[in-house]
Structure 1
Amino acid sequence: MRHLIAAVSCAIALGGPVLAQQSGTVVELYTSQGCSSCPPADRLLAQMADRDDVIAIALHVDYWDYIGWTDDLARPEYTQRQRGYAQRWNAKNVYTPQMVIAGAVGVVGSDPGAVMNAMAIHRNTASPIALEVVRRNDGLQISARAIGDVPAQALVQVVSLTDSVTRNIERGENAGKTIDYRNVVTGWQNAGTWTTAQPARLSVPLDHAGPVVVIVQDGTSGPILGAVKLP
């Protein structure tokens, strides 16, 4: 991983294309500025954000906006993504803070033990795909091929991130607090459906200059088959 990071840094310095290969377990935190239980989970995600073996992302949901503070980072489509997981797992409702590990299991996001246990299980699971992403000035070149058991089709998704955001909360359950957020999701694009019997090669336009994650998943709420993060 150190060699990959060095290569990426060099490419950025020279203004050339940036290449990244399979890297880390995806951890999705569903959080809200209006949730008093969420700051410990936000801090836990921040601790994971710089790890080489984790792709940590924060998705802000909008269903707590009615209690006094509107989360300006929330989008209804992130709430819908969380509801998709709940439906797949036959859960009765959604909640914050929740961390979803590898698209396969959801745990209370403020419980470090539960989070680490879930991550340990999935860290030892080999990815069934080989995934490579090249970032150029005009977008991404995504290549994927199956190397294990995979569903007949998989969804290729491009996630835009803001590395760090600070908010002063004036009302609601967190009134008076200043909260730092890491790896905040600011955009989510379904880039295409991959028929996995054949290798995939996709060109995806991108106008986002910040970090980006490519996620290949069994649908929108199934297990994550592979993921790559680029700076």
Structure 2
Amino acid sequence: MTDPSGTGSNRARSSESPVRARDVAPAGGVAVVEMFTSQGCNSCPPAEEVLTEIERDARKRGQPVFALGFHVDYWDYLGWPDRFADAAYTARQQAYARAFGSGQLYTPQMVVNGTVEFVGSDRRRAATAIASALTGVAAAPLALSVEDAAGATGGGHRVMVDYQTERPPERAVLNVAIVERGLVSDVARGENAGRTLRQDNVVRAFTSVGLDAERGRVELEVPPDLDPRQASVVGYVQNDGDKAIVGAAAIDVSAESG
């Protein structure tokens, strides 16, 4: 199936091997798994299941693996506007396409630590990329704390995230996302018409800031329907040039927001 943007192809494939990075010694490595997806794409639900498995397995094993589902907006023209889609997430995928030298967009696309990309439903590739990432060393360790603050415009609220890192590279950026688990959508139109989709690790708010100092605060405005009991803050330090991710951390919103 072809990506409706005309910029690439939907190359969905699948594998039956489990999504696990087995027997990885704690060596300070992290794995940030970004997936570009859409409710309008019928090849995306299997990849979203993979992303859910990745996050659940990492939580169970206590591994520093962080899953984020970025919903792009270029499938919306089929008649189903993805309620989680944002043009900024499409722009983020475009930036990766330029960095990879492909110039192509497709869904579902998975990117691990900003440097390895493949079809998001490929369990074997995901397991291999995550295992490789965990054997490395995070060059810029990161710590986060979070504070919930009411009163944002539009009925939402603000989440304040304090960060502390070490040795960030020049021209590094700090990406901060709020992801939510257990979201259910009844899709009425588009390629998934008639399906009920359950999605995890959906990015509900996102920002990138230049790392001018080793500590600071980031403020995000989140939608009013966010359930803090099912939400986490994920932060990751990324080189602005080659897009390599060199540090990451996460904290549950409910851990401090109550």
- Check whether TM > 0.5: yes
Residue 33 of structure 1 is matched in structure 2 by 39
Residue 219 of structure 1 is matched in structure 2 by 240
Q: Determine which of 105, 117, 120 is the counterpart of 2:116.
A: 105
Q: Determine which of 110, 113, 120 is the counterpart of 2:131.
A: 120
Residue 85 of structure 2 is matched in structure 1 by 74
Residue 21 of structure 2 is matched in structure 1 by none
3-state SS of paired residue (1:48): helix
Q: What TM-score, normalized to structure 2?
A: 0.73
Question: Distance between the aligned counterparts of 1:228 and 1:98, measured in 2?
Answer: 22
Question: Distance between the aligned counterparts of 2:86 and 2:141, measured in 1?
Answer: 31
Deviations 1:55-82 (A, max 9, x none): 1110100111112321111000000000
Is 1:154 the counterpart of 2:165? The answer is no
Deviations 1:38-60 (A, max 9, x none): 11101111111221321111010
Q: Determine which of 49, 54, 68 is the counterpart of 1:48.
A: 54
Structure 1 outlier segments of 4+, above 6 Å? none
Question: Distance between the aligned counterparts of 1:180 and 1:157, measured in 2?
Answer: 25
Residue 205 of structure 1 is matched in structure 2 by 219
Taking only the aligned residue pairs, the percentage that are identical comes to 35
Structure 1 unpaired stretches of 5+: 1-21
Question: Distance between the aligned counterparts of 1:134 and 1:220, measured in 2?
Answer: 27
Is 1:140 the counterpart of 2:161? The answer is yes
Contact 1:167 1:178 in 2 (8 A): yes
Contact 1:68 1:171 in 2 (8 A): yes
Instruction: Please show how residues 157-172 of structure 1 align to structure 2 within 5 Å.
Output: 157-172=175-190
Structure 2 unpaired stretches of 5+: 1-27, 150-159, 223-227, 253-258
AA aligned to 1:193 is G
Aligned residue pairs, count:
203
AA aligned to 2:184 is T
CA RMSD after TM alignment: 2.0
Instruction: Please show how residues 185-196 of structure 1 align to structure 2 within 5 Å.
Output: 185-190=203-208, 192-195=209-212
Which protein has the bigger strand share? Answer: 1
Question: Distance between the aligned counterparts of 1:120 and 1:129, measured in 2?
Answer: 19
Question: Distance between the aligned counterparts of 2:111 and 2:233, measured in 1?
Answer: 19
Distance 1:173 1:221, change over 3 A: farther
3-state SS of paired residue (1:113): helix
3-state SS of paired residue (2:164): strand
Contact 2:205 2:221 in 1 (8 A): no
3-state SS of paired residue (1:117): helix
